[in-house]
A and B are shown apart, each in its own frame.
Chain A
């Protein structure tokens, strides 16, 4: 079993839809949770960073962390074609200083 599980998709939605992306994890030591966006053949770009449980909002993006369920989510409101990319969850904590990534969800927002 992978430490971080992420549905690879692909996920296709119409413009303006609300998108929900999710990851589950098994390591209870994880405390820091990130979402990265990666366009094709580019480097990952940090979107959201959350510490421990709770919600964080930034514009059209909302990150949620539920440590009791070991489940994190990223919501995108009013999705745009420019949001089409692969979204990677990542996390760290405990003795590990590196990030552990999910495999990524490929999102396409159709105009």
Chain B
């Protein structure tokens, strides 16, 4: 859905560098979710945030990954010291309320670690 904006669309990082992925939710949406999609696989939940709060990070790897959704500005998914296994498509979704209702996805950021 064009309303959820993700950037960059493509990101290439060398092993050991940091990757920052940004997501601006649809206007009026205060709930943001990050998912990761590996080739030939479905989307896997990573983290659920509301403004200034992490609500559920049960899908986040314990190390190197962090997420934030500040009061002003986009949500950020940060991956430190990237490794080849981090190469994937990362999707952000936003909703008006909790994700039991309709959620709209962005076009994704495709991260390639070389």
> Which 8 residue pairs of A and B lie closest in terms of their CB atoms, listed nearest first?
A101-B42, A98-B45, A43-B105, A103-B42, A43-B107, A101-B43, A44-B105, A97-B98
Q: Closest residue to A36 on the B side, CB-wise?
A: B105
Partner of B42, one of A34, A42, A45, A102: A102
CB contacts under 8 Å to A, within B42-61, are 42-45, 48, 55-56, 59
**Residue among A44, A45, A103 with most chain B CB within 10 A:** A44
Interface band, chain B: 20 to 34
The answer to whether B91 and A93 touch across the interface, beta carbons within 8 angstroms, is: no
Give the A interface residue count (CB, 8 A): 26
Bound-complex Cα distance A42 to B33 (A): 17
Other 9 A-B pairs with CB < 8 A, given A90-B43, A100-B45:
A41-B108, A43-B91, A88-B43, A97-B55, A98-B33, A99-B33, A102-B42, A103-B40, A104-B42
Q: Which residues of A contact B (CB under 8 A)?
A: 4, 6, 8, 31-32, 34, 36, 41-46, 49, 88, 90, 92-93, 97-104
A-chain residues with CB within 8 Å of residue B107 when the two chains form the complex: 42-43
